[in-house]
Amino acid sequence: MNMQVCNISFQLNPAIQPAWLIWMKTNFISDLMATGCFIDHKFYQLEVPEDQNPTFTLQLYAVDKTQLSKYHTQFADTLILQLNNKWGEQCLYFSTNMQIVN
pLDDT at 2: 85
Flag whether pLDDT at 67 surpasses 80: yes
Domains of the chain: 4-99 (3.30.70.100)
Flag whether pLDDT at 98 surpasses 70: yes
Flag whether pLDDT at 64 surpasses 90: yes
Output the average pLDDT for the chain. Answer: 96
Overall average pLDDT of the 19-23 stretch: 98
pLDDT at 1: 65
pLDDT at 54: 98
pLDDT at 101: 87
Q: SS3 letters for the chain? A: CCCEEEEEEEEECHHHHHHHHHHHHHHHHHHHHHCCCCCEEEEEECCCCCCCCCEEEEEEEECCHHHHHHHHHHHHHHHHHHHHHHHHHHEEEEEEEEECCC
